[in-house]
Every structure is written in structure tokens, then in C-alpha cells.
Structure 1
Amino acid sequence: MSLIKKFATVASGTMLSRIFGFTREMMMAAALGTGPVADAFNAAFQFPNTFRRLFAEGAFNTAFVPLFAKEIEANGTDGARKFSEEVFGVLFSVLILLTIVMELAMPLLVATIIAPGFAQDPEKFDLTRSLATIMFPYLMCMSLAAMMSGMLNSLRRYFAAALAPVFLNVILIAVLAYAWYEGFDELSVGYAIAWGVLAAGLVQLAIVWGAVRHAGISIGFRRPRFTPNVRRLLWLAFPAAITGGITQINTLIGTAIASGQASAVSSLAYADRVYQLPLGVVGIAVAIVLLPELARALKAGNAVEAANLQNRSVEFTLFLTLPATAALLVMAEPIVRVLYERGAFAATNGTPVVSAILSVFGLGLPAFVLIKAFTPGYFAREDTRTPMVFAAISVAVNISLALTLFPSMGAVGIATASAVAGWVNAALLLAILIRRGHWGTDIPLLTRIPRLVLAATVMAAFLYFAVRWLAPYLAAEAPIYTQAATLGALVCAATIIYFAIAFAIGGADIGMVRRSLRRGQPKAARSEIPPLE
């Protein structure tokens, strides 16, 4: 299977999840707007969600996957199963203890980490604490699910792991629909979706657990022991968790700072949902597929394939991300208006702030995606320390800028700090890869990037004038179906313009992309890596 097909497999599941996620956010915006319940829920959910991405997705898709892939190559399925059981025993035990401690310490955590700004509002503080207490066990479910997903990705069975997150959004949509039908007030809606998050975690775990069993690996519980394999995993996992979740760390910091201003937390959350679509569909898909493929290539001693994988992945991410950046910069306000401006959201007039935040996030989008493409170059070589150092620098930049800009710019200042920190992190990762000789000069990549930038710039110019020409059809006074149809037509036209220019000026060549993204090279080289399917 070619890399492009693997990217598409993961991206299709992620795209489905993001589409349902948009539906969920639209319903939440209509039900809660940017009011106190929305702020409390988003702050409370951000905490277990950040831990999930740090210690689940971050650690196991960067530390666990290369070790699991090596076990498969060296000792076959039996060795991989034994390794998985050793890890499962330790992970399950640690998660139980962590969940108990966090539940007991939740009031302190809300006051110091999650939303310190809420301490001045006792009702919002108590609601945030209650919702966080309900949702924190979601972390345990998703951490175990992430381990199963890492196994599936190493076995080149990508779809179940990519599809499972859809069920979080499906369940929350069902809860919100029921709440609307029954006429729940805002407080009841907040509690209902919190319980829905916990139920979704159990469902997602059941899905990937079943997929792993279907793949032929049945994991039993072993008494937790720190075997050499487990110690090696932990040694790699901690810095990998910090590095892999750098965007989430910065988001958590931003949420804590934003809690000092009414509506800022929910405004950031709504904007985050929109830019997470291209980040999730492109960046996460590339990171998930690229890491095990790089680990296999390096294990087989094939530096040529490893270099080709890295270069083509960056080319692929920029090819799809640059037009998304241009669109978010030019027409953030119509996007936000069509997605969210109804019900409680319209009453709180959240469109100007959320659209401004979204435009700034758009500037940082290429950096956030490139980080996902650069870090596998370190993790596949079992170097998790260097990216962690860069992540720490990025966090320092984010905190200092956010604290500086927030008093004058509000939530937009937090988004600005996040975007700048992302570019700093991406630049450091690339610079050291080049310095170590792990990123060779690739003429096709270097010649295509300026052409892709030009194509995206022309597309942005088209959108700039088209949005102003069609302003009456995109205004808040126009019917929602008129706004949606106009926005859809603009997106379609812009997409056609971008791809036409990109292919016409040599920014992309579909034949070359298909050939260069094939997993194998010459047959002799391919034979070094036996298929797993």
C-alpha cells in the first residue's frame, strides 16, 4: 500500500470525526453560546483531553510504536503480544492510581491549573470542578485505547483506530439532540454532555480492543513489572509525551490564562475546532503513518527510503495545508458565522472574536502540521530528548507572549502566542534534522514549495475580492441557507483555482506524487521488510 493510500485511510476516519465534531460544536454553540456554562465545560474537558493527547496519543504513537514495530520484526507476533501485555499491566495500574489522585485533588487542580481565573466566580468554579470530576476517567479509557491504536497502526490496520474518535462526537450529538428535544436548560446540558464524554471513552476503548483481537493479538493482564522493555518505553515515553502534545500543552496554558476573561475560554475552543480540521486530517494522519514507516525503514538500514518518506510527507502536508491557511486568513468571519451564529452564540455576539482568533490560528497552521511531519524523524531514531527540549522552548515562548499580549488583545493575544510558539518549534526541529544529516537536500521539494505558496496566494487574492463582492449574501441578515450556499460555492471555486494553478506551474505533479509515495523501492530493498498483512 502506498503512503498516499495510508494517509487517505487515516485521514478519512479523521475527516469523518471532524465533520461530526463540527456538528457537535454547532449544536453546543447554539445551546450554550460563549456563556459561563460553555466556559466551564470547555475548561473542564480541556484537562483530561490534554492528558489524553500527552500521555496517550503523544507517548504511544511516538515511543510505543517504534518498539512494538521492532518486536514484530525481531520476534514476530508472539514477541509483540508479550511486550504489549507487559506494557498493559503497568499502564493500567498507573492509570488507576492517577485517576484516583486527580479526582481527589480536582478542586486544587481547577484553582491552580485548569481555570485559575474562575476562582473569582464561585458558581463557575464549582461547575468546572464538577464537570472535570465526571470527565476525568475519560483519560483512562482513551490512554488504553491509544495503546491499542498504536498496535493497530504498527500492524498497518489504520481504519479502526482512525474511526473510533468519531463516536465521541456521535454520542455528544445524540445527547445534545435529546437535551434540545426535552428542553434542558444550559446547566443541565453541561452535565449531560459531560456524562456523554465518559460514555464515549468506554465505547472508543471497546472498538479498538475488538479490532486488536480481530488482528490476531489477544492481550491478557500481567502483574505490573518494570521489565527492560517497559523501562525502555518509559524512558522514551515521557519526553515523547511532552513533545507529541506540545500543541495541547500550549492550548492548556492558553485556557488557564484565558479563564481570567469572560467568554475567552469558549471563544478559543470554537476557533480551535475549525483549524483542527486541516490539522487533524493532514498533520495527524501524516504523523501516524510516517512514524512506523520510518521506524521500519531505519530498522532495515534503508536511509534512502527514510529520506524519501520524510520529504514526500512534508510536500504532501504543505500541498494540502497552504490553501487552508489562505482560506482561514481571508474568510474566517463568514466561516464562523455559518458554523456558529445562531441561538445562544448569536445572542452573545461571539463572531468577531472567534473569527479573529481563527485567522491567527490560520497563520500558525503550517507550523503545527510541519511539527507533526518533523518529529517522526527523531522518534523513529528513538531520540525523544531533543524534541522535548524544543517543546520546552516553545512553551516558554508561548507563556511569555500570552501573558504579555492577553491584557491588551484578550483571547486573540493567546492565539498569537500559540502561533509564534509553533513556528519556533518547527524551525528548531528542521534545523537540527539538517545539521545531523537526517534531512538531505531534496530538489523537487525545494522547487515545489515556492510554487505552492504562489498558488495559495493567488487563491487568497481571489477569495479576498470574492468575499467583498458577495458580502450581501454572507451578511448576518441573509438567510442561513444563502450564507451556507455562498460559502460552499466560494470554497469550491477557490479549491479549483488552487489546484489548477498548483499543477499548472509545477507545484504538484500527480504522477510523481503517486510514484514517490509508494512504500517500496526496488524489489531487493522491499524484501528486507516482510509484509504484515
Structure 2
Amino acid sequence: MKPIRLMRGFLTVGFWTLLSRVLGFVREILLLSFIGPGPLLDAFVAAFRLPNMFRRFFAEGAFNAAFVPMFSKKLEGDDDAEHFASEALSLLFAAVMTLTALGMIFMPALVWLTAEGFAGDERFDLTVGYGRIVFPYIFFMSLAALFSGVLNATGRFAAAAAAPVLLNILIIPALILGHLSGGPVITWLIWTIPVAGVAQLGLVWTATRRAGLHISLRLPKWTPDMARMVRVAVPAALASGVMQINLVVGQIVASNTEGAVSWLYAADRLYQLPLGVIGIAIGIVLLPDLSRRLKADDQTGAQNAFSRASEFAMFLTIPCAVAFLIIPLPIVSVLYERGATGSDDVAAISVALAIYAIGLPAFVLQKLLQPLYFAREDTKRPFRFAVWAMVVNAALAFGLAPYIQWMAPAIAATVAAWIMVAQLGFGAREYGTVAKFDTRLRKRLWRICVASAAMGGTLWITWVILVPWFSLPGWRYMALLILLSLGTAVYFGVGRLIGAYTPGVLKAAARRG
């Protein structure tokens, strides 16, 4: 079997994702400072969610689940993988071009369906206008997802992981220039997004050509391979669509409170940092590796890959969740409280972040469990699981809204995430030992939880001591640095003492990768 360097892949994708998320923090800080929670930011968030929603529906959902395993297996069997990729590109091009045209024509209907609380005020017309500018982003990103899948399947993770960085590299100077020019900052922001889509597509296309893979557009043809891919992709797309419906349900509920869409968006961007760096990065690398190991009937290697990915993910995710749950206020205050974002906004964002923190391990575990199904081209059961999770999410979001208003979507999303994990884990039992944690992981998981609890206690006590520092503008950054540094030291110290990890194991694994 042609090996994929699993741990090195995790670290490569994780590094570029981390860079993207750090730059994303800079972007959100500028957004909240220059624009702030309110009608303009609410409208932008709702408009930009539309192409992102369909991007996850078509690209990350359908293509990660259908195209990547099929391409990986053809590559493993030397079965003209490039021809298959060219056919898939042509079919995707036609489908997404049609979707883009329809979306721009029927933008008012899309806005009403996804943010009906905007109807009757200025946010509705703003969202429609912004949406027509940013919606073509889905076209470029869907094509980029295919080229990224090709690169990932061949073990070349860097370019595909680096592409999202371009969005923030372009948006940050656009926001600064817009602010310095004295004009509407939002205008600079929305016009930069489609430009970034072109840049991202250009990067992965160039990387694919340099890798010696020649994938080109042709007249779309309905071949047996395309029929099989669509049969696998449709349930996966529907499953991803269900997850996006959960986001839309939350936005509908939040749209009835001015500023709430912005609060939930800001909290979402914070917990998406570990989710993106850990969960999504590992899922991207794990899927093609599992697909190729199963093709080669390497059951032992597949179990080891799944267990090591899970161990790596939980070692980083659980302490992040504890930190977001214990000290959301100082984190949000230091990152966001400036300019147009005041203390009331910070308090609201902190509440949402603490709620999302409870679901963070579940969001990451989903990314680990789904490849067990997708590598076998089983997308129907994850779709059924997602439907049940959607029902739970909608019932809680709408049912709790009269009592706790905009906080209901965060609680609903968290509970639904754990319901989804329970279904995925229970359903994967039929795959045998491949889907089971090995002895090493079972021994280390409880130790990771103990080390995280020790860190949480340290964070709480230290925050209480440093509270006066956080009220001083010149010292709050230092206070947060001390707080996080001490918590990290306790986590790694206790973890090493009780055997939650072995020093140097990641470095050694990356070398073996």
C-alpha cells in the first residue's frame, strides 16, 4: 500500500488551519472593532453563511464522503484516477454553476428562509445586497474542494490546508484600508470575499498541476463511476445539509434579537479554532488513509490510525473545552472588547462560548467517527443519524426560545452534537475492532480528563486572583497570557506525571509518518 504519513499529515493540516484561525481571530477582532454587533454585522453574518452553508453541503459534505474514498481507491489500484477526477470536476462545475445562478436570482427568498427575523427592518435588504456579492464564493470553493481532495488523497496536504489562509490574508488589509479610507468598511469586506475564492482555487489548481496530476474540464458525462459517486454523495450531501439546517434554525431564533446573530457568530469563531485545527484537520487526513487501508485489507493499521487520531484529538480538545467553560469572560474580553464592541456584548458572547464548550468534544468526535462510515462509502446511515440530531436541535431551539431567547440555539446545537456522536459510535460497532479504541487510548483517556480537571481548577483560582488586572487596559493582555500559560503548564505537568502522554511521541510519530 502507498502509505499516507498520518501524523505528519495531522500536523501539516493542523499548522495551516491554526494559522488560518489565528488570522481569522485578527479578522473578527477588526470586524467587531470597526463594525461591532448590530444590523451591519448581523446582515454580513447571515449573507456570508449562505455560500458557506452550500459549500459545506456540496464540497465538504458530498465530496469528502464520496469523491475522496473513490479517488483514493482508484489511486491505490492504479485505476486511471485522473480520468475519474476530470469527470467529477466537469459534473461539479455544471451543478455548482447552476446553483450559483439560482442563488443570486432567488436571494430574497433565501434570506427570508434563513433569517426571517430580519423581515421588516433594514437588515433584510442589507443581507440580500451582501448575499448577491458573496454568493459566487461557493462556485470557486466547491471546485477548490475537489482539487484539495485530490491533493489530500495523494498525501500532499500543505497546499489544500494553506488555501483558506488566503481568505484572511486578503480580508485583513481590506478591513484596515476601508477603515483608514473613512468609507464603509463593510463594502471593502464583502467585495474581497469573491476575490479570495478565485485566489484559493488558483492555489490548489496550481499545486495539483505541479504534483503531475492533470485534471481538466470536459463535457459532463453520466458514466457508471459518476452514477456511483452521486449515489454515495447524495446521502452525504443531505447529511451535511441537515447540519446546516441546524445552523439556520439557530440563526432564525437569534434573528429575533438584534445583535444576537453577531454574538453567536463571535462565540462560534472562538470554539471553531480547536474544532478546525484538531477535528477537521484530523478528519481530512484520516479519511483517505482509512479508505486506502481498507482497500488493502489492513485492519490492524486502520484501527491504529483511528485510535491514534482519536488520542491526538482528545489530548488537545478536552483541555480547550475546559478552558472555554471555566474562563470564557477573560478570553472574550481580551480578544473582542474594543471599539464598537462593549461589555454587554462581551458578556453575551461569553455565555454562548461556555455553552458551546460543553459540545466541543462532541463536534470533534463527529469528525473522527464519520470517516469510519465514509471510507466504506456508507453515507446513508450518517444521514439518518443527522436527521434525528436535526429534530432534537429544532425542538430545543424553538422550544427553549420563549424562555431563554437567543441562548437556545447554542444549547440546542450542543445537545444535538452529543446525540449525533452517540448514534455514530453505536452504529460503528458493526465494523469490529477497527472502530474500537485500542488499549493505549483507553488507558490514556481518563488521564487526559484528570489533567484537564487540574488545569481547570488552576485557571479558576488564577482568574480570581488576576481579576483586578483585567480591568486595566494596559495589563489585561499580560493577565490573559499568565492565566493561559499557567493552565497549560499544569495540564502538561499533571498529564506527564500520571501518564496522559509520552514526551516526544508526536515528534517521533511525525518522523515515522
TM-score (norm 2): 0.96
Aligned pairs for 1:260-339 (under 5 A) are: 260-339=256-335
8 Å CA contact 2:164–2:200 kept in 1: the answer is yes
For residues 150 and 213 of structure 1, the distance between their equivalents in structure 2, rounded to whole angstroms, comes to 14
Q: String of CA shifts for 1:173-200, please: whole Å, max 9, x gaps.
A: 111001110112xxx2223211111111
**Which deviates more, 52-61 or 465-474?**
52-61
Aligned residue number for residue 208 of structure 1: 204
CA shift at 1:516, angstroms? 7.1
Checking the alignment, whether the CA contact within 8 Å between 2:8 and 2:509 is kept in structure 1 is no
Corresponding position: 1:44 with 2:54: no
1:496-511 matches, within 5 Å, as: 496-510=489-503
Cα drift, residue 519 of structure 1: 7.2
Quick check: 2:30–2:175 contact (8 Å CA) kept in 1?
yes
Query: Alpha carbons of 1:448 and 1:156: their partners in 2 closer, same or farther (altered >3 Å)?
Result: same
Structure 2 residue corresponding to 1:494, chosen from 473, 479, 487:
487
1:110 maps to amino acid: V
Q: CA deviation at 1:2?
A: 4.1
Secondary structure of the corresponding residue to residue 176 of structure 2: helix
Change (3 A) 1:292 1:441: closer
Distance in 2 between residues matched to 1:273 and 1:387, nearest whole Å: 25
Q: For residue 90 of structure 2, what is the aligned residue in structure 1?
A: 89
1:120-159 to 2 correspondence within 5 Å?
A: 120-121=120-121, 123-159=122-158
Question: What is the alpha-carbon distance in structure 2 between the residues aligned to residue 247 and residue 5 of structure 1?
Answer: 30
**Within 1, Cα distance between the matches of 2:29 and 2:504?**
39
Equivalence map 1:101-120=2 (5 Å): 101-112=102-113, 114-120=114-120
Question: Out of 362, 368, 376, which is 2:371 matched to?
Answer: 376
Counterpart position of 2:160: 161
Structure 2 counterpart of 1:54, which letter? Answer: F
CA gap of 1:340–1:516, structure 2 versus 1, over 3 A, is: closer
Q: How far 1:518 sits from its partner (Å)?
A: 8.1
> Residue 389 of structure 1 corresponds to which residue in structure 2?
384
Alignment partner of 1:69 is 2:108: no
Task: Give the distance between the partners of 2:58 and 2:311, measured in 1 at CA.
Answer: 29
Measured after TM superposition, the shift of residue 439 of structure 1 is 2.0
- SS of corresponding position for 2:436: coil
1:512 deviation in Å?
A: 5.6
1:56 aligned onto 2:56: no
Report the Cα offset of residue 73 of structure 1.
1.6
Task: Give how far 1:337 is off.
Answer: 0.7
Give the deviation of 1:514 after TM superposition: 6.2
Q: Distance in 2 between matches of 1:17 and 1:7?
A: 15
Matched, 1:252 2:252: no
**Percent identical residues:** 43
Any idea what the Cα deviations from partners look like across 1:114-143, whole Å, max 9, x if unmatched?
A: 21110121x211110010111110000000
Taking a change above 3 Å as real, the CA distance of residues 316 and 500 of structure 1, as seen in their structure-2 partners, is same
Give the superposition deviation at 1:441: 5.3
Amino acid at match of 1:130: G
Residues 518/312 of structure 1: CA separation in 2 closer, same or farther (3 Å cut) = farther
- Give me the whole-angstrom Cα distance separating, in 2, the residues matched to 1:265 and 1:283: 24
Count how many residue pairs are aligned between Structure 1 and Structure 2. 509
Aligned runs of 1:447-458 on 2, under 5 Å?
Answer: 447-458=443-454
Q: 2:427 aligns with which of 428, 432, 435?
A: 432
3-state SS of paired residue (1:75): coil
Equivalence map 1:454-469=2 (5 Å): 454-469=450-465
Cα 1:514–1:241 change in 2 (3 A) is: farther
Distance in 2, Cα, partners of 1:174 & 1:367: 35
Distance 1:163 1:255, change over 3 A: same
Give the match's secondary structure for 1:349: helix
Q: In structure 1, list runs of 5 or more residues that go unmatched.
A: 521-533
CA distance in 1, matches of 2:174, 2:509: 45
| CA distance, structure 2, for counterparts of residue 244 and residue 71 of structure 1 | 25
* Residue 37 of structure 2: aligned partner: 34
Runs of 4+ that moved beyond 3 A:
242-249, 510-520
In 2, Cα distance between equivalents of 1:236 and 1:139: 21
Deviation at 1:412, TM superposition (A): 1.9
Contact 2:307 2:437 in 1 (8 A): no
Within 2, Cα distance between the matches of 1:435 and 1:514?
A: 34
**Aligned CA-pair RMSD:** 1.7
The CA deviation at 1:517 is 7.8
Cα-to-partner distance string for 1:9-29 (whole Å, 9 max, x where unaligned): 000110010011000000000
2:229 to 202, 214, 233: 233
**Partner Cα separation in structure 1 for residue 42 and residue 435 of structure 2:** 43
In structure 1, the residue corresponding to 2:77 is in which secondary structure? helix
Unaligned runs of 5+ in 2: none
Match of 1:257, SS state, is helix
State the one-letter code of the partner of 2:75.
I
Change (3 A) 1:246 1:215: farther
Shift of 1:490: 1.2
Question: What is the Cα deviation at residue 254 of structure 1?
Answer: 1.0
